[in-house]
C-alpha cells in the first residue's frame, strides 16, 4: 500500500536521524538502524538503494535543518531586537534539545568528504546580516550592548546554545551533573545567555 510503504520509508529515515542526531552514534551501521527500526535490513535497500543514498538523504536534510536554524538567527521581522534574540535562543535551544548531535553529525560528514557541496547562502542572508549589524548598532547606541561584529555575535549565540548539548557527555562529567542536574542546567541556559548578551539584564 502506498501510505504504508511511505511509512516504512519514513520510519527508516527517522530512525537513522534519531540514532545520529539524538543518540549521537556516528558509527552506526545499517544493521543498527534496521534493528532500531524493528525491520529487516533488506528493507533499507529496498527503499534506499544503498547505505550511501540513505546517508546522503539524511545528511542533506540535516544541512537543511541547520540552515533553517541559522536563517532564524537573522530573520523574523516586526519584533524588537530583544524579542528577536530571545526567540532565536528559544529556537536554537529547542532544536538542540530535539537534535543535540546534529552539528556533530554534520561536522563528521563534512570532514570525511571535504568537497561536499556547501549549501549556498541565499542573497537575503547577506541582507539580513546587514540588518543585524544595524540592530546591534542601535543597542550599542542605547548602551545595552557592547560593540561586536555580527559574525562573532552569531557564532557566540550558536556556540552558547549548541555546545552544551553537543558535548553533553563531557559537560555532564566536567561539572559533575546527574541526568536531572543536566536538565536543570540546560533549562537555565536561556537566562544565562540573555544576561551575557544584554547589559541591562
Partner DNA sequence: CTCGCGTTTAACAATTTTGTTCAACACAAA
Partner DNA sequence: TTTGTGTTGAACAAAATTGTTAAACGCGAG
**Which stretches of the chain bind its own copies, using CB under 8 A?**
23-27, 66, 70, 101, 103-104, 106-108, 110-112, 114, 118-119, 121, 146, 148-149, 151-152, 154-156, 158-160, 162-164, 166-171, 173-176, 185, 188-189, 192, 195-196, 199, 201
User: CA gyration radius for the chain?
Assistant: 20
Of residues 61, 31, 57, the one with CA closest to residue 44: 31
Stretch that binds DNA, among 23-31, 105-113, 140-148, 162-170 (CB under 7 A): 23-31
Q: For residues 66 and 20, is the Cβ–Cβ distance under 8 A?
A: no
Instruction: Write phi, then psi, for 169 (nearest 5 degrees).
Output: -60, -35
79 binds, among its own copies, DNA, none (CB under 5 to 8 A by kind): none
Of residues 49, 73, 64, the one with CA closest to residue 17: 64
Instruction: Tally the residues of the chain.
Output: 201
Distance CA 32, CA 96 (A): 23
| Residue 14 near DNA by CB under 7 A | no
Which bin fits 78, alpha (ψ -120 to 50), beta or left (φ > 0)?
A: left
130 binds, among DNA, its own copies, none (CB under 5 to 8 A by kind): none
Taking the least distance from each CB to its own copies, the nearer of 97 and 121 is 121
Taking the least distance from each CB to DNA, the nearer of 17 and 69 is 17
Q: For residues 66 and 103, is the Cβ–Cβ distance under 8 A?
A: yes
189 binds, among its own copies, DNA, none (CB under 5 to 8 A by kind): its own copies
Residue located via cell numbers 544541512: 63
Choose, by CB under 7 A, the member of 22, 25, 36, 51 that binds DNA. 51
> At closest approach, how far in Å is the CB of 10 from DNA?
11
70 binds, among DNA, its own copies, none (CB under 5 to 8 A by kind): its own copies
Residues that bind DNA (CB under 7 A): 1-2, 4-6, 8, 29-31, 39-43, 45-47, 49-52
Amino acid at each position: 500500500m502506498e501510505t504504508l510503504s511511505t511509512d516504512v520509508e519514513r520510519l527508516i529515515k527517522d530512525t537513522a536521524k534519531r540514532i545520529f542526531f539524538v543518540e549521537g552514534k556516528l558509527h552506526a551501521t545499517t544493521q543498527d538502524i534496521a534493528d532500531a527500526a524493528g525491520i529487516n535490513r533488506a528493507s533499507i535497500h529496498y527503499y534506499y538503494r544503498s547505505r550511501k543514498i540513505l546517508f546522503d538523504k539524511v545528511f542533506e536534510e540535516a544541512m537543511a535543518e541547520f540552515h533553517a536554524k541559522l536563517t532564524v538567527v537573522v530573520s523574523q521581522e516586526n519584533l524588537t531586537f530583544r524579542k528577536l534574540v530571545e526567540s532565536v535562543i528559544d529556537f536554537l535551544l529547542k532544536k538542540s534539545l530535539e537534535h543535540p548531535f546534529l552539528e556533530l553529525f554534520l561536522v563528521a560528514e563534512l570532514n570525511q568528504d571535504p568537497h561536499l557541496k556547501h549549501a549556498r547562502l541565499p542573497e537575503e542572508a547577506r541582507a539580513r546580516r546587514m540588518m543585524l549589524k544595524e540592530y546591534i548598532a542601535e543597542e550599542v547606541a542605547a548602551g545595552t550592548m557592547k560593540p561586536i561584529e555580527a559574525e562573532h555575535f552569531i557564532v557566540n549565540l550558536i556556540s552558547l546554545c549548541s555546545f552544551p548539548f553537543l558535548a553533553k557527555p563531557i559537560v555532564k562529567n566536567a561539572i559533575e551533573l546527574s541526568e536531572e542536574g543536566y536538565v536543570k542546567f540546560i533549562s537555565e541556559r536561556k537566562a544565562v545567555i540573555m544576561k551575557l548578551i544584554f547589559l541591562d539584564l
